[in-house]
Structure 1
Amino acid sequence: MPGLVHVVDDDASFRTAIERRLKLAGYDVATYATAEDLLDADPDDMQPGCILLDVRIPGMSGPDLQGRLIARGSTLPIIFLTGHADTPTTVRAIKAGAEDFLTKPVSSEQLLEAIARALERQNTARAQRGKLETFRTRLATLTQRERQVFDLIVRGRINKQVAHELGTTERTVKAHRHQVMEKMQVHSLAELVSVAERLGMLET
């Protein structure tokens, strides 16, 4: 199955029509009449999926639900559906990370393309998070001195400067540098700098 689509809309006939359309395209579908129903269901964002969310639903609005999901740490992509295009709402939702904004009535082609894009981006983001986790795990294996050497070499210091700053010999720095490369599983300084950037180590 390509993924699970959560449809949140207060219009029962619309939910039924969308569910039929998506199931024909091979998706699993879960439908909800209100934002609260979706929050109660607490959808799992570890499996491929996205949320099709009506902007104007009774009770909690679509953008408010988006805010609640973000606060919960949900990474499920959200595609908004609206009967009335309203620029401020669109801008607010997109700024908060909405994947797409579709105006009803939406064609099957447009809808399926938006869902495919959302799932593709979710997949890419998940792979990047996995990579980051791997880098963090490797970083945690460094000794305190190896970590100091790492910090200095990714900021452009040469071995001689590192040795001077840490009050040790160039030979010792070379040995630590070798260990850092081994433990971080990189083959060049450029790769090591790239890892440091992704871990946010070069922001200060």
Structure 2
Amino acid sequence: MASDPRIALVDDDAAVRDALKWLFASRGHSVASFESAAALLADRDPSRFSCLVLDLRMPGMGGMELFQTLVGRGYCPPTLFLTGHGDVPQAVAALKQGAVDFLEKPFDDNALVSLVENCLSLDTERRGAWERRRQIERRLGDLTPREREVMALFLDGKLNKQIADELDISMKTVEVHRARVLEKMGVKSAVELANLLKELD
């Protein structure tokens, strides 16, 4: 069993938490369980988990509000909701906002484990893309305001002389800025840079 839990379970019902911890342990997965949304948010880093299993209806902050809070923070792991029958419309709304799926209580154990394992696989794919975006954004953040101006113009297809005229600087200065932009962004050409920035779209 993994020593560092990849699954986070948030449910205010202790009996549900205990039952699901046992279920996941029986399938080789370790779980960190939390009695409330606030408890998860107080964790050292909720985004470290690879799957979130959230009860939709809880005292205080509910599962939907917790999910929206985590999405607003940056990376939100693939999320499943556990719902009562009357909460299905809200669960469907969560799907539209990026949740992976929901299960109505009482649910089938095998169905839940299967969905969680799908989330664990999905996390690997999503987290890689998210880390890549963060890396590109960090590189962009290292550019000076002038380097950003030069970059925008050469990505617009303008020649060095046109950029120099537009910014009222020498062609040599444009060349220096252009070279620094490519170096900081980790690419060798404007085409490579354009393709890199498309990953942020």
RMSD: 3.2
Which letter maps to 1:130?
Answer: E
Once the two structures are TM-superposed, the CA of residue 78 in structure 1 deviates from its matched residue by: 2.5
Size of the aligned set, in residue pairs, is: 199
Q: Deviations over 1:126-171 (max 9, x none)?
A: 3334333333443344455433221111223233432331234555
CA distance in 1, matches of 2:139, 2:69: 33
Once the two structures are TM-superposed, the CA of residue 186 in structure 1 deviates from its matched residue by: 0.7
Name structure 2 gaps, 5 residues minimum.
none
* Map of 1:53 onto structure 2: 54
Alpha carbons of structure 1 residues 82 and 141: separation in structure 2 relative to 1, 3 Å: closer
Once the two structures are TM-superposed, the CA of residue 6 in structure 1 deviates from its matched residue by: 2.3
Once the two structures are TM-superposed, the CA of residue 79 in structure 1 deviates from its matched residue by: 0.9
Quick one: percent identity of the two aligned structures? Answer: 39
Deviating above 6 A after TM superposition, structure 1's stretches of 4 or more consecutive aligned residues are: none
Once the two structures are TM-superposed, the CA of residue 198 in structure 1 deviates from its matched residue by: 4.5
| 1:79-158 superposed matches below 5 A | 79-84=80-85, 86-158=87-159
* Map of 1:173 onto structure 2: 174
Which letter maps to 1:101?
Answer: F
**Alignment partner of 2:82: what SS?**
strand
What TM-score do you get using the length of structure 1 for normalisation?
A: 0.74
Q: Deviations over 1:61-117 (max 9, x none)?
A: 332333454566672432101231644212332234322212233334422332233
CA distance in 2, matches of 1:36, 1:173: 51
Once the two structures are TM-superposed, the CA of residue 59 in structure 1 deviates from its matched residue by: 4.8
* Map of 1:44 onto structure 2: 45
Alpha carbons of structure 1 residues 157 and 196: separation in structure 2 relative to 1, 3 Å: farther
Alpha carbons of structure 1 residues 82 and 69: separation in structure 2 relative to 1, 3 Å: same
What TM-score do you get using the length of structure 2 for normalisation?
A: 0.75
CA distance in 1, matches of 2:34, 2:177: 56
Q: Deviations over 1:16-48 (max 9, x none)?
A: 322112112222213344445545x53622423
Which letter maps to 2:147?
Answer: E
CA distance in 2, matches of 1:76, 1:28: 16
* Map of 2:79 onto structure 1: 78
CA distance in 2, matches of 1:59, 1:179: 51
